[in-house]
Chains A and B, each alone.
Chain A
Amino acid sequence: MDKIKELQDIASQVRRDIVRQVHACQSGHPGGSLGCADFLTALYFEIMEHDPSFSMNGKGEDVFFLSNGHISPVWYSVLARSGYFPIEELKTFRQLNTRLQGHPTTHEGLPGVRVASGSLGQGVSVAIGMALAKKMDGDDKHVYALTGDGELQEGQVWEAFMFAAHNKVDNLIVTVDYNGRQIDGDTDKVLSLGDLGAKFTAFGWEVMRMNGNDMQEVVKGLKEAKAQSGKGKPIVILMHTEMGYPVDFMVGSHKWHGVAPNDEQLAKALAQLPETLGDY
């Protein structure tokens, strides 16, 4: 089967998992999760060399850090579907005694998660720390991180960006979910990010762009980013996505950032998302 088609099918199932998780507990963040489904699917099913038997230190494998922890539903689905824990466990999302906490954490020992995230702006720093350790250990694998675009309003990320360029952390690939939305509205209205590409360039990063809701582009973009690694500069991908993609009544609106669908909305969303691998 065509690899892209296979990845698209996985992403479709991941999107079903997202809306079903969020619907079941009537809380969580479907918008950004849906928008990043293609990216995380490509990362875990095509790009990264990783071992679902999971070791915390990630020695000898590519590792991923989710900085915008509120899009946990997409990460949980991708982790489960790639073998880190039973797919059935997605039923427990946000329920009492679950390992699938509202925001990802190591505290309950969920395989695949290496640091807690949720309070924004912290993941890139942690990813850089891991990337430094890989260099020290002569480990040639890569460190990936995903951050939201609204998250870039946090000051810590710019400390991290400055550090990574100064220290030539070139085994690091950071992707920005550039959907232009945050809880209170469009990022341009809440607090404009300005010319992000120019800012990253000025900070000494290699800047790439891709459409995060086109699987072919995502795979191509991530492969190009990997090819750019090891050249003395950290790499950032400005990934254009639509919050809520491709569910017609959710797409492109910040209103679905952190709201769960009701029964009717769930049915409507699922009707647009083919069940490819079987629902849990």
Chain B
Amino acid sequence: MFTNFEVKGKKATRDGFGDGLFEIAQQNNEVVGLTADLLGSLKMNKFAETYPDRFFQAGIAEANMMGLAAGLATAGKIPYTGTFANFSTGRVYDQIRQSIAYSHKNVKICASHAGLTLGEDGATHQILEDIGLMKMLPGMTVINPCDYNQTKAATMAIADHYGPVYLRFGRPSWPIFMPEHEFVIGKGILIKSGSDVTIVATGHLVWTAMEATEILEKEGISVELINIHTIKPLDEGIILDSVSKTGCVVSCEEHQRNGGLGDSIAQLLSRRMPSPMEYIAVDDTFGESGEPEALLIKYGLGKENIVAAAKKAMQRS
């Protein structure tokens, strides 16, 4: 069904970040890396060991790390900061806002362990608001890749984009299904074309949406599945083209409904093409401890939830 998207094993998206960082550092001498005591969790070891002079350990001091990155960027470096998504955004929002976004610094804020799939550590660490926080900042590019390959490609591509970027990825081992591809910021990817319903997914939920698509297709429903890896700037064309054909849409993301990808799609459709829409997202609540898959199901982000949402969207159209 997904001819160009065959599963080739499993790896965490954060591994894609670590490998991508190492590779882009080999190619671009201006790339530097910083972490706030999460070197191993962010898979930055190889980079740090190979390029000790281009790596800065900030300690458990994220606010200072963001400022250091702003200063390094001012001098012409391309800093990649690495810590958990919660500490990459909410904890340091004002530092990002003033020293990076408003000052238009070329800082790459790289954030692991985003969303429910962080798992057992629970709600203190499972940030579900980070996409919203970051996309509200003028000039900030927001990217949420879906698997190892896409995360690696995105990590490398953002070095060539001047300006602040928020790159969000996760902790668990996850199916690798994207072919090795050139990553184009702001360009959505058509995973499968169809005619009855559009499903737009980002991050880990692209895989879940693929599973849901298989179920729907078996029931005779033709699904158009789109991977939006760049939430801002949003690829409006690919979404409008699809919805003009299907007439309804489901958004899927590991994030609060407020402020997430679905929110951006709804804004687009309300302006350009009002259409029935259902959201697969966390509904105004915090997460909790548990295994990633179980958490996705409990919070309504499982494949069966996507199947039901697609049918509901179709009924409304």
Q: Which residues of A contact B (CB under 8 A)?
A: 56-59, 65, 105-107, 114-119, 121-134, 136-137, 155-156, 159-160, 162-163, 166-167
Q: How many angstroms between the C-alpha atoms of A142 and B302 in the bound complex?
A: 55
> Which of A57, A123, A137, A159 is the most central at the interface, judged by chain B CB atoms within 10 Å of its CB?
A159
Q: Which residues of B contact A (CB under 8 A)?
A: 32, 53-54, 56, 58-59, 61, 63-77, 79, 94-95, 97-99, 102-105
- Residues of chain B lying within 8 A (CB to CB) of residue A115: 70-71, 74, 99, 103, 105
> Which of B75, B98, B104 is the most central at the interface, judged by chain A CB atoms within 10 Å of its CB?
B75
Nearest B residue to A113 via CB reads B103
B98 touches A159 (CB 8 A): no
A116-B103, A155-B63 in contact; A126/B54 too (CB < 8 A)? no
Q: How many angstroms between the C-alpha atoms of A211 and B65 in the bound complex?
A: 32
A119 touches B98 (CB 8 A): yes
Return 28 A-B CB contacts under 8 Å, by A number: A58-B75, A59-B76, A106-B102, A106-B103, A107-B102, A107-B103, A125-B63, A125-B64, A125-B95, A126-B67, A126-B68, A127-B71, A129-B67, A129-B68, A129-B70, A129-B73, A129-B74, A133-B71, A133-B76, A133-B77, A156-B61, A156-B64, A156-B95, A159-B59, A159-B61, A159-B64, A160-B67, A167-B56
Chain B binding surface, main DSSP class: helix
Nearest A residue to B53 via CB reads A136
Q: How many angstroms between the C-alpha atoms of A23 and B76 in the bound complex?
A: 38
CB of B163, distance to nearest CB on chain A (Å): 13
Nearest A residue to B68 via CB reads A129
CB of B220, distance to nearest CB on chain A (Å): 54
A107-B104, A136-B53 in contact; A130/B75 too (CB < 8 A)? yes
CB of A33, distance to nearest CB on chain B (Å): 20
CB of B94, distance to nearest CB on chain A (Å): 5
A130 touches B71 (CB 8 A): yes
B68 touches A125 (CB 8 A): yes
> Which of A105, A124, A127, A133 is the most central at the interface, judged by chain B CB atoms within 10 Å of its CB?
A133
Nearest A residue to B74 via CB reads A114
Q: How many angstroms between the C-alpha atoms of A125 and B6 in the bound complex?
A: 46
A118-B98, A156-B95 in contact; A125/B75 too (CB < 8 A)? no
CB of B34, distance to nearest CB on chain A (Å): 9
- Residues of chain B lying within 8 A (CB to CB) of residue A114: 74, 103
